[in-house]
Amino acid sequence: MKHRSIRQLMLTSMLLAVLVVQELALSFIPNVQLTFVLLLVYAAVLPGYQLGILVLAYVFLDNLIFGSLNFFIVVPMLIAWTLFVFLGRLLRNRSIIVILVFVTVFSFFYGWIFIPFAYFQFYQGVPGAIKTLIVADIPFDLILAVNGYFTTLALYRPLVGLITTFQSARNQDWRL
């Protein structure tokens, strides 16, 4: 049993490393990343407790690396990614069309969840600030939606198959 726990920890750590490194590598292009598809894949193949640990660690590391470790960034990000993987887990056996619609719609939700926090942090009492924030965010949400759609279309099924194969191979009784 202890051997299995170490393997699960190693798998979660490797998947977390892939998630963080890809975001760091693509950070020079606004809202272009593989985070949506990777978290969807992880939601499809990992048990819930592993997924929870991965999301917590990802949000912490992402904010630590990018220097945004504050309440007004961490909380909406944690809410959004937790909801994303929870819904992704519920949709894991649905058609790719349903998954693609989910990713596209969630791209806008992800951008907009930060708006109330930005308002309370910087724009309290400014007339029309929320509307301005939403309008200013739309181009970035569109980029995120298009990126999420095409990366999910291209990578979701192959990555789920790859990790599932890896997991079934690891469940065989072989020793390192």
Write the burial class of residue 47 (CB in 10 Å: 0-12 exposed, 13-18 middle, 19+ buried).
exposed
Per-residue pLDDT of the chain (176 residues; tens, 9 = 90+): 565 688 888 889 999 999 999 999 999 998 899 999 999 999 999 999 899 999 999 999 999 999 999 999 999 999 999 999 999 999 999 999 999 999 999 999 999 999 999 999 999 989 999 999 999 999 999 999 999 999 999 999 999 999 888 777 655 654 44
**Tens of pLDDT along 85-111?**
999 999 999 999 999 999 999 999 999
Tally DSSP H helices, then E strands, for the chain.
Answer: 6, 0
Please report, for residues 84, 167, 172, the alpha-carbon distance to residue 164 in angstroms, rounded to integers and kept in the order given: 20, 5, 13
CATH number of 2-170: 1.10.1760
Q: Where are the domains of the chain?
A: 2-170
